[in-house]
Amino acid sequence: MHNKTIAEISRDLAAGVYTSVDITRELLARIEQHDAQYNSFITVTAEQALAQAAAADARRAAGQASAWTGVPIAHKDIFCTNGVLTTCGSKMLSNFVAPYDATIVDHFNQAGAVSLGKLNMDEFAMGSSNESSYYGPVANPWDRSRVPGGSSGGSAAAVAARLVPGATASDTGGSIRQPAAFCGLTGLKPTYGRVSRWGMIAYASSLDQAGVITRTAEDAAMMLNVMAGLDAKDSTCMDHPVPDYTATLNDSLAGLTIGLPKEYFSRDLSPAMAEKVRTAIAHYEQLGATVKDISLPNTHLAIPAYYIIAPAECSANLSRMDGVRFGYRCDDPKDINDLFKRSRGEGFGNEVKRRIMIGTYALSAGFYDAYYNKAQQVRRLIKNDFVEAFKEVDVIMGPTTPTPAFPQGSNSDDPVAMYLEDIFTIALNLAGLPGMSIPCGHINQLPVGLQLIGNYFDEARLLNCAHQFQQVTDWHQHTPHDLA
């Protein structure tokens, strides 16, 4: 049962092949048996999961089931879950039990899904490798000496290891798409404002977006059906019609125009990766799409702009973590200043401290115009590049990452090298566009991803493109060689 996708589980439950309790017990047993080698979970909610599964089976027996009734998933530990530890991978929140559910958690609960627990992540979503978690690094199931990507590395590792069929995740600069690429999975970052951020602990409020990591585009469509929509509690959530994302998965791609940005095929991309991407594009041409070379001239400015804007926003968002209202508190503080300094100094990890300091500097009176304001102007230039490109093409494609998953520890002492791992993903967050990563091959037995970029609120087209690709390829069906 653990090799089933979300769609297959939904159909099997409807057909009575097995019960929700059956599959929940099997997955909980797999987590207990295998997760020590991956460290993908921070908290396993076994008792709650079995209670939800039993309730789901009762609803099904009473003829009250939906497509999601009894389907197991897990949540990234950035989403508040009522009565469950919600840590954001940080010592600062290692004792925080959320008193409410995030909107997307509530939506899955209302749909009848079963939550198996909370998944590991880079501390406060700051990282590209899932090595900055207070709860230890997460290992890539394809090669446990390598990183799974970050910050949603726990979500990716759990799905790749077949511990859970799908997981929620979040993406601030590539934190869904990069782990999906590194772990051979499908990752979807929706348009900014498509999915509520209420109850998702903020890193950079103008960039953060909730999304999903699954094995297939069909599964991602099913999850987005539950998550998308207006939320009155979130002022950044957009009132835009929500289609049935599964309804157009099988539409023809004849007439589709794909844009290939020349900037994505620069020296930053390994030749082997470029070959995999071009081979994937050839499949789309066989499916009826046409390809057009385009330019996104301000792509090279995405990383410097992002690493001013995101740290600036994080320095503001994390100012509430002071050891007084909530969060870790140091022992025996001498006075209020000592309480603040030591609680934050002991509660935050090095990467979080680095970004807080960068952001505070960029927002300071003498440097606001030179750094933060200039970065926001560059952000508009990057957005305009995409707006112009989508006048000519329907979808933009390219690599998700410059290389496959890198070895653990290889970039730990070089923050700039770590930041450059997001070179192809960050621009989408600055522009607020939807993006996906889907498996498109292997390099040295490690999976690599193809990135699909859509126009605003065009997730249905992205999912259709991804699904059609997965009908003519089998990269999404490959399993890490060491999994039982």
- Catalytic residue selected from 175, 196, 315, 343: 175
Please tell me the distance from the alpha carbon of residue 191 to that of residue 238, in angstroms, as a whole number: 10
How many C-beta atoms lie closer than 10 Å to residue 31's C-beta? Answer: 23
Find the catalytic residue in 151, 315, 343, 437. 151
Apex CA 382: angle with CA 379 and CA 385, to 5°? 150
Query: Tokens in use for 312?
Result: 């600036």
- Looking only at the bridges linking them, the beta strands covering 209-214 and 166-171 are antiparallel
DSSP secondary structure string for all residues of 46-110: HHHHHHHHHHHHHHHHTT---TTTT-EEEEETTB--TTSB--TT-GGGTT-B-SS--HHHHHHHH
CB atoms < 10 A from the CB of 410, how many?
Answer: 14
Q: Is 452 left (phi over 0), alpha (psi -120 to 50) or beta?
A: beta
Secondary structure class of 252 (helix, strand, coil): coil
The continuous run of DSSP H or E covering 440 comes out as strand 435-443
Query: Cα–Cα distance between 199 and 101 in angstroms, integer?
Result: 7
The Cα–Cα gap between 389 and 427 comes to 14
Instruction: Choose among 221, 293, 285: nearest CA to 256.
Output: 285
Is 76 assigned a catalytic role?
A: yes
Is residue 175 annotated as a catalytic residue, yes or no? yes
Q: How far are the Cα atoms of 128, 151, 289 from residue 423, in angstroms, in the given order?
A: 11, 15, 26
The identity of residue 105, as a single letter, is V
Catalytic site residue 410? no
Give the rounded distance of the alpha carbon of 2 from its chain centre. 22
Which of 4, 76, 91, 276 is flagged as catalytic?
76
**3-state DSSP: the chain helix, strand, coil percent, rounded to 5?**
40, 15, 45
Active-site amino acid positions: 76, 151, 175
